[in-house]
């Protein structure tokens, strides 16, 4: 007879590792009675920063789902029960949580490594390789467990020390979907990402020889996440109350904190970007940019990076606790993205080192991942400056609020054909307005003006991308 304390395993809402204490269950991918394997994604949850898929760390059969979709659950609370020894006896009417009592069947015990660190998803990152004894009648699966842990560690921006030796290739969910859409077997793809993780570029490279040149590198179309439908409004109702949670809750707290902590100053400049728009058209036809997303935002991002290089003091942070100004010698460029779940600001790490094609690829992946709702909390941490493109909504300009911990944010307005004095004559030209908000504790008026003026000068004369780089 099997001891129920070892037969049924409780999977708890994982420690998020990002200062968050709860998450909402968005969707269950399994139901009671379904067979699951170690590393299989069983549900999608939404924290205050991102939607994340959770893999189960056991093999077995789903016995019970503890919560319904739409429920907000505290970290550390059991959300699903797995029968790890199905068929070994009658199941109790209620699942039995794992206890600290000595197990009757040591063969199903999972050794807990010392020094385990909490992460966003999965079963944790161990300082030494996690070892699991083989269950009776099954093969040992240490490699599979290590691979699953490495995948989840990479998804959350951590580098796990356990080495994945299984044949299962390492790739983020959006990359796996891209490979599936393109008909590419990930086992045949050579990884170039950190710790052997397969990137979008690797998948595109594998697909290139067998697909047509023009559309080969274009990301496969993905289903757009659909915003949750509002509750039906009763006839005659004068108000509707919407719970504040998830991304909206986090955004509200961040904006209030930023607005009442950092003294904001915003400056504006209106400029002629006709030459920049012509360069965008030329780059779209350039073979070196084939398959990449080329738009005005790409050149605006590059212009801001060059302006920061010319005025490095703007790339800093205010350390109130230590009463220090922290000068950043790297640029993690944030891009504000409106998603069905709310505003998020993922950033491109070390953007200052990227070539124009590399920056285009990074922007494309950032946008695609955000639209899929798969942006990880790690991708939204550590930003230094941000760009928000309000022009896509037809807005001329705005006074953007700083992302907490950052020194500046550049708002880009709509690009419109307007009368403009060019070479002494009034002509129709492509014109836009830029707005730069900055933390006046860190950035004085002269420095902020220089940065904004440099960005404008580059966009008016894009050749400065070469002469000033």
Torsion of CA 174, 82, 28, 166, to 10 degrees: 10
Cα of 320 vs its chain's centroid, Å? 28
Helix H or strand E segment including 151 = helix 142-155
CA 396, CA 412: separation in Å to the nearest integer? 8
Residue 358, Ramachandran bin (φ over 0: left; ψ between -120 and 50: alpha; else beta): alpha
Backbone dihedral angles phi then psi of residue 387, each to the nearest 5 degrees: -115, 135
Token digits for 313?
Answer: 């003091």
Q: Which of 290, 388, 297 is nearest to 343 (CA)?
A: 388
SS3 452: helix
Cβ burial of 318 (10 Å; 0-12, 13-18, 19+) is: middle
Token digits for 137?
Answer: 């009648």
Which alpha helices (H) appear in 167-318, and where do they start and end?
A: 173-182, 200-207, 213-216, 246-259, 274-284, 296-310
CA 8, 9, 15 angle in degrees (round to 5)? 165
Beta-carbon neighbour count of residue 290 at 10 Å? 15
Q: Which of 158, 204, 329, 440 is catalytic?
A: 440
Give 268's strand partners.
435
CA 258, CA 438: separation in Å to the nearest integer? 11
Beta-carbon-side half-sphere exposure of residue 165 (alpha carbons within 13 Å): 8
Token digits for 304?
Answer: 């801001």
Q: Using an 8 Å Cβ cutoff, are 179 and 203 in contact?
A: yes
Query: Catalytic annotation on 329?
Result: no
Token digits for 144?
Answer: 């599979």
Q: Using an 8 Å Cβ cutoff, are 310 and 422 in contact?
A: no
Q: What angle do helix axes 356-371 and 296-310 make, rounded to 10 degrees?
A: 120
Cβ burial of 468 (10 Å; 0-12, 13-18, 19+) is: middle
Place of tokens 């796990």: 160
Place of tokens 């094609």: 357
Helix H or strand E segment including 386 = strand 385-389
The bridge status of strand 385-389 relative to strand 408-412 is parallel
Catalytic machinery residues: 440
């Amino acid at each position: 007879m099997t001891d129920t304390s070892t037969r049924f395993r409780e999977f708890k809402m994982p420690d998020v590792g990002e200062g968050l204490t709860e998450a909402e269950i968005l969707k269950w991918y399994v139901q009671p009675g379904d067979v699951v394997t170690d590393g299989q994604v069983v549900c999608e949850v939404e924290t205050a920063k991102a939607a994340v898929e959770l893999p189960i760390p056991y093999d077995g059969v789903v016995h019970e789902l503890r919560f319904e979709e739409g429920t907000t659950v505290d970290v550390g609370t059991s959300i699903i029960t797995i029968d790890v020894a199905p068929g070994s006896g009658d199941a109790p009417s209620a699942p039995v949580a794992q206890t600290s009592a000595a197990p009757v069947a040591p063969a199903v015990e999972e050794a807990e490594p010392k020094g385990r660190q909490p992460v966003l998803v999965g079963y944790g990152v161990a300082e030494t390789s996690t070892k699991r004894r083989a269950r009776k009648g099954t093969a040992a699966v240490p490699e599979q467990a290590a691979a699953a842990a490495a995948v989840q560690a990479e998804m959350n921006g951590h580098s796990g020390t356990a080495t994945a030796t299984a044949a299962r290739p390492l790739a983020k969910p959006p990359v796996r979907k891209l490979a599936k859409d393109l008909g590419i077997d990930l086992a045949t793809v050579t990884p170039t990402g950190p710790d052997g993780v397969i990137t979008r570029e690797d998948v595109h490279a594998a697909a290139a020889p067998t697909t047509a040149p023009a559309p080969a590198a274009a990301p496969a179309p993905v289903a757009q996440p659909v915003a949750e439908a509002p509750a039906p409004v009763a006839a005659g109702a004068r108000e509707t109350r919407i719970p504040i949670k998830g991304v909206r809750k986090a955004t509200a707290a961040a904006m209030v904190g930023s607005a009442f902590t950092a003294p904001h100053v915003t400056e504006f400049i209106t400029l002629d970007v006709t030459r920049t728009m012509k360069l965008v058209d030329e780059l779209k036809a350039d073979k070196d940019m084939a398959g990449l997303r080329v738009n005005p935002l790409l050149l605006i991002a590059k212009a801001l990076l060059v302006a920061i290089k010319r005025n490095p003091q703007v790339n800093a942070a205010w350390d109130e606790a230590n009463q220090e100004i922290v000068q950043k010698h790297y640029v993690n460029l944030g891009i504000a993205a409106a998603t069905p779940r709310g505003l998020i600001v993922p950033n491109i790490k070390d953007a200052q080192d990227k070539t124009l094609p590399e920056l285009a690829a990074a922007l494309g992946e950032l946008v695609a991942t955000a639209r899929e709702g798969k942006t990880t909390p790690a991708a939204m941490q550590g930003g230094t400056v941000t760009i928000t493109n309000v022009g896509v909504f037809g807005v001329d300009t705005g006074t953007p609020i700083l992302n907490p911990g950052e020194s500046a944010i550049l708002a880009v307005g709509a690009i419109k054909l307007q009368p403009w004095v060019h070479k002494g004559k009034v002509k129709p030209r492509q014109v836009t307005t830029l707005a730069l908000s900055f933390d006046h504790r860190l950035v004085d008026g002269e420095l902020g003006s220089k940065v904004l003026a440099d960005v404008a000068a580059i966009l008016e004369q894009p050749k400065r991308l070469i002469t000033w780089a």
